[in-house]
A and B are shown apart, each in its own frame.
Chain A
């Protein structure tokens, strides 16, 4: 008898669990979103919680995945565990060739409110967020080009008031601060570099504003020759730099602790040095990067960002679109910009953002020579990428001339082969102007 009662109780309990669970599962469509941003986690969680509380039909589940993002997505698609929406940090050509992403154009065309807020047809960048007529993600904002963030106290202690306009002066300044810093306890340095793409964060951008870019848009080929003076300058800077090149966050923490005076990174540092590693012991400033001779001869690259892609593997693409249009709604975007997480990319949002709430982000506002560059074709390159190779040359692991010759050969061989096999078309920009890289006429050649 006891056994029967126990069995009955167990059955009732199991049934009650099933009955209780069914409505919860059946009522809401869960849309999983993989974000590649960590710096905005608190704000994004807040707006997502609000959405989830207000909606009975859809629930957003945000997962932050910052490492090996594109590979993780492709593996998840193969394994049947892919999310519905992913952040934009992917190579769009690869995702399209993999038949992984949904063309958002039909959704956008039907949605006037979305068009009004995000102006998607004027922010369509071939090879970046669109291929042909198809738009795969729409930027919510943009990240500024690189700036120099500097420790005012260390600069002043060495007799400097701000960042000079030329690279040779900049090097001399770093040298002087390091020399003076030997008397400090602990020792302080003029400049610091991270191990994560160090070339990109300062010297490459100094080259850009000096009119040097790795892709020759006018002739449709790669050309690294112009980087030589920047590699030589890099060797001088590394010689007086903080002795370690650690991960970005470690080096940010060192800068915030006053270990070195000069740090290079884009507008995300506004939030980093006010909330992630708040600087309280000294004043810090923001300055444009210097050019080789003080003259601005090329545009500084800005990056449209914070876009959302819907994966074709999603069984709930319409619900996923509802999530995308919420995350790119006026309400969410204005709060995002005022939170200092990004810079507005559309005039509609720009006019509605209260700049006084943006904190230090206001100091990263776009310069008149900042611009989006046409996306350089994705090629099937073997070996180290140019940033690694050039940094290895700066560190003295390889000869500067050999590094440049190697890159010119490898990049152009891979490009020529990919073009001849029809995997990519050759990008040529007629009337190319380095100060206005997006202004020329884009031509795609078959050879």
Chain B
């Protein structure tokens, strides 16, 4: 009978359990982990949890930032919210904006990532060019597109008229029929470079020999994309989609500069409406911090619900695939 013992099954020569709790913590690496996590936890608590609690306490108050004006209003903010057609309209506008943005930004980012991953001459240059809008501040993007979309002396109308595509200038920022398209163009321009970079990074982790095998098997470019690239990018795609969804629902800065929610309320997304309420800017005569606090909680619930729904759907798709 052999005396061989599978080393994986053999009892390990473990060191005895440390006597006190402090030593056990040190040995398990808990202390180091705790220390490394501490800055993030502190920042999260100070910058995220505390403001949330701060704003939560005002949801039943009429508060404009001046302590002498503060008064408890019970459920009035809730009843106001239920009847606030402008808020619910802004929620609808947000869904519309997010949907159109996602429809364009994700495929565009993916296609550009695939093209730039071909290791063609100049691909690094274009990668930089497409990523550049991401590092420009949202308000500057808004200002740039104000000049591009101006009706009378705008760059876009000038080009379209010179090419003979339109006879009359289009009111990109004043016509309710087309203003959403202008906003979507701006947000896709500003954001797709970021998602493109995620996809490029994801693609670099796909082993080259898989592509080589597919080539030997005679797969063409389209087949390679749908049968290899896309499935192997699935984990990255899931994360990118989640970031894109939450990002699209929270967008408002560039829209504020470009249209300030107008014309009328056509591009008034919910966080822009809330911002104007809380800071008393835009068309609001007075700051409504209490009511704005309630709406921001409701908006957070809406964004949270959409994200959860997306995760459930993504998980179901995983199971199916």
Q: Is the CB of B64 within 8 A of A380?
A: yes
Sorting the interface of chain B by its residue count into under 10, 10 to 19, 20 to 34 or 35 or more gives 35 or more
Q: Is the CB of B150 within 8 A of A246?
A: yes
Nearest CB in chain A: distance from B264 CB, A: 3
Q: Is the CB of A259 within 8 A of B152?
A: yes
Q: Is the CB of B291 within 8 A of A382?
A: yes
A74 nearest in chain B by CB position? B65
Q: Is the CB of A383 within 8 A of B64?
A: no
**B223 close to chain A: CB less than 8 A:** no
**A388 close to chain B: CB less than 8 A:** yes
**B62 close to chain A: CB less than 8 A:** yes
Q: Is the CB of A382 within 8 A of B283?
A: no
Q: Is the CB of A380 within 8 A of B286?
A: yes
Nearest CB in chain B: distance from A400 CB, A: 14
**B246 close to chain A: CB less than 8 A:** no
**B194 close to chain A: CB less than 8 A:** no
* Main secondary structure on B side of the interface with A: loop
Q: A259-B152, A382-B291 are in contact. Are A397 and B284 (CB under 8 A)?
A: no
Q: Which of B30-38, B66-74, B234-242, B311-319 contacts A (4 or more CB under 8 A)?
A: B66-74
Interface of chain B residues 271 through 308 with chain A (CB within 8 A): 279-288, 291
Q: Is the CB of B152 within 8 A of A254?
A: yes
A395–B262 alpha-carbon span in the complex (Å) = 11
A398 partner residues in chain B, CB cutoff 8 A = 264
Q: A244-B174, A246-B146, A398-B264 are in contact. Are A98 and B286 (CB under 8 A)?
A: no
**B173 close to chain A: CB less than 8 A:** yes
B73 nearest in chain A by CB position? A417
Q: Is the CB of B69 within 8 A of A384?
A: no
A245 partner residues in chain B, CB cutoff 8 A = 174
A176–B65 alpha-carbon span in the complex (Å) = 50
Q: Is the CB of B169 within 8 A of A97?
A: no
Q: Mark A339-355, 1 if CB is under 8 A from B, else 0.
A: 00000000000000000
Q: Is the CB of A243 within 8 A of B152?
A: yes
A399 partner residues in chain B, CB cutoff 8 A = none
Nearest CB in chain B: distance from A350 CB, A: 34
Q: Is the CB of A97 within 8 A of B152?
A: no
Q: Is the CB of A244 within 8 A of B173?
A: yes
**B263 close to chain A: CB less than 8 A:** yes
**A133 close to chain B: CB less than 8 A:** no
A382–B76 alpha-carbon span in the complex (Å) = 12
Q: Mark A230-242, 1 if CB is under 8 A from B, else 0.
A: 0000000000001
A259 partner residues in chain B, CB cutoff 8 A = 152
A382–B71 alpha-carbon span in the complex (Å) = 15
**B265 close to chain A: CB less than 8 A:** yes
A185 partner residues in chain B, CB cutoff 8 A = none
**B80 close to chain A: CB less than 8 A:** yes
Q: Is the CB of A395 within 8 A of B263?
A: yes
Interface of chain B residues 221 through 270 with chain A (CB within 8 A): 260, 262-266
Instruction: Point out the residue from A98, A99, A385 that lies within 8 Å of B283, measured CB to CB.
Output: A385
B152 partner residues in chain A, CB cutoff 8 A = 242-244, 254, 259
B62 partner residues in chain A, CB cutoff 8 A = 380
Q: Is the CB of B279 within 8 A of A388?
A: no
Interface residues of chain B, those whose CB is within 8 Å of chain A, are 62, 64-69, 71, 80, 86, 146, 150-153, 169, 171, 173-174, 176, 260, 262-266, 279-288, 291
What are 14 contact pairs spanning A and B, CB under 8 A? A68-B281, A71-B287, A99-B68, A195-B262, A243-B151, A243-B169, A246-B150, A259-B152, A379-B285, A380-B69, A381-B285, A385-B285, A395-B263, A397-B265
